[in-house]
Chain A
């Protein structure tokens, strides 16, 4: 043990406690930031004491997949260490480890404890060689906060380097429907298990905002016999032998159920049956399929997966229901074109137009570049009433004008704050008997909105909801 470890962990714990005391947050980031800054070996050396580590990375669905994998492990009676609040940089891992570590840096019951961790795309690339996951799950690769992550091809290249350095007996779990993911996952020296969706897409060309159109290996034309959404689907290259690989776990017969759930058939090597889940949308079906393959790869029994998944609740801010007096709020995190367009499809599957509040912030965690809203097809949004808010509310209002969402732009109320926008949206429908309000929010706007709801006593803080 490095001499600095007790100092680093004590400093981290103190910082976290101060953060909670001063109500600045859950202390999830700051305690880990302090510890890993003082002691860079803390995260990898702590994780190496454990039974094994499972990592989950990808652009969309990390928090949900991680939570589902944890639920499967816990249901099988296996103790889990995780970072449930979406804090997915090294500091987030350090913060998740801190409560388990004693002053000498030892983790209680370490040989029985399994780490199931979500990792930011670049954090995975940086950390995987030192934390040496036993199972590495890759969900998808979409354009997201390009000002922070850079080009999608660069992220794929970073993943490739990390995959090349994985242990040969580690298992890679990857989305068969994403050519960008398959192109890197297939090079792993050890076992690779794929999951995918056998569902009929409406199109055979990728969406306008898709990031893959040509073969990632040879730049030849990719031929899709179906596109599920974005660039996900069933494809083959017309110039080389690159094609969608065979799946170990697949989804078929998908039935959307609006915002409150969905049902489908989930076929795995040792089970085949219909499940009805509380998570909406095909994108969540991918997440749950990934969790099941990830569990199987990690040796977690999945015999009772159906029961676990059917009772599994959405993670905070991911189609989360918040009960406010007189109004039921559905809070949906949107942070990039693919996720946002999937969410708009969900709203369209609702029987009636809904009151909708859209919140756009431009913090570092949201992406300072708000251009991406022009890749979101707000043309598909048909709200009953529309309110926009957040630090870049004016950009949203302008986007709505060009999307033709409101008859005239004067019908879109612009309120830059979060609480005032929420109040206005709730007041607008206050005469209705049963009220529903849909809130689409970028990451920091979602946290801000939850903080407003927490102060008003409508919902628990996120670090408690996630625990």
Chain B
């Protein structure tokens, strides 16, 4: 396990505000899967007041409560929009989960009617139908390329994709973006948004590696990802399928 491989610059956006459902597990997973392959992950944690100066190969943001989401929206749009959007235009990758996903679309209209501006990475908007409408909560399984993604969702907002947005996956079990059109998440270039929160990457190692691969395509295109011994990952993946009533 020599660190002879490339460096992967990960910008971890607002971990203090946006880690509601243990989304930091995704960072733990990305870091380990890089280290196991000799890639050196360099993590920069962005605090609320910070301004990103250096470029990143991969942006990660998790979910948060409404209030924290408000602060994150301010920090993103007033201080860091240019850096993030120009890196993404250069081909940097992104994983935006739940509340973070909502903030990467055009806007989020909260339960109280207030509107939070997003970065517009995804052509989508999110509307919270009000505190009295049931949240979308439960296990999720969806079709992704020729495989499946498993996870758990818990969101009040309903996300509707615009004509320029492609869904990440198709819902087999659960609600996904809005519980209406069967879509889950969004993809724009190398950016991925999803409602599968918390530990989405550990039990979807193919998604984790897809994200590392697209991030490296930006910084070290010649580097090849070796496969890892993923029996524990797939066992947890199968357990999530079983819980959702699928094999």
Size of the chain A interface, CB-CB below 8 angstroms: 35
B86 proximal to A (CB < 8 A)? no
Main secondary structure of the interface of B (DSSP, over half): mixed
B233 proximal to A (CB < 8 A)? yes
Chain B residues within CB distance 8 Å of chain A: 15-17, 19-25, 28-29, 32, 65-67, 71, 135, 137-139, 152, 154, 197-199, 202-203, 231-233, 235-236, 238-240, 243
Chain A residues within CB distance 8 Å of chain B: 143, 146-147, 150-153, 208-209, 213-214, 219, 337, 362, 368-375, 391-395, 397-399, 401-402, 409, 412, 414
| Complex Cα gap A337–B19 (Å) | 12
What residues of chain A lie closer than 8 Å to B199, measured between beta carbons?
Answer: 370-371, 373-374, 395, 399
What residues of chain A lie closer than 8 Å to B139, measured between beta carbons?
Answer: 368
What residues of chain A lie closer than 8 Å to B239, measured between beta carbons?
Answer: 392-395
Q: Do A394 and B198 touch across chains, with their CB atoms under 8 A apart?
A: no
Q: Do A374 and B71 touch across chains, with their CB atoms under 8 A apart?
A: no
Q: Do A369 and B154 touch across chains, with their CB atoms under 8 A apart?
A: yes
Q: Do B66 and A153 touch across chains, with their CB atoms under 8 A apart?
A: yes
Q: Do A214 and B154 touch across chains, with their CB atoms under 8 A apart?
A: no
> Which of A368, A395, A414 has the largest count of B CB atoms less than 10 A from its CB?
A395
| Complex Cα gap A207–B100 (Å) | 21
A-B contact pairs, 16 of them (CB 8 A): A143-B20, A147-B137, A150-B135, A153-B67, A368-B152, A369-B152, A371-B25, A372-B21, A372-B22, A375-B19, A391-B243, A395-B199, A395-B203, A397-B236, A402-B28, A402-B29
A-B contact count (CB 8 A): 97
| Complex Cα gap A86–B193 (Å) | 40
A203 to chain B, nearest CB (A): 14
Which of B16, B154, B243 is close to A362, meaning CB atoms less than 8 Å apart? B243
B33 to chain A, nearest CB (A): 9
What residues of chain B lie closer than 8 Å to A395, measured between beta carbons?
Answer: 199, 203, 236, 239-240
Main secondary structure of the interface of A (DSSP, over half): helix
| Complex Cα gap A362–B138 (Å) | 11
Nearest neighbor of B240 in chain A, beta-carbon distance: A395
Nearest neighbor of A206 in chain B, beta-carbon distance: B16
Nearest neighbor of B70 in chain A, beta-carbon distance: A219
Nearest neighbor of A412 in chain B, beta-carbon distance: B232
> Which of A150, A219, A368, A398 has the largest count of B CB atoms less than 10 A from its CB?
A398
Q: Do A213 and B232 touch across chains, with their CB atoms under 8 A apart?
A: no
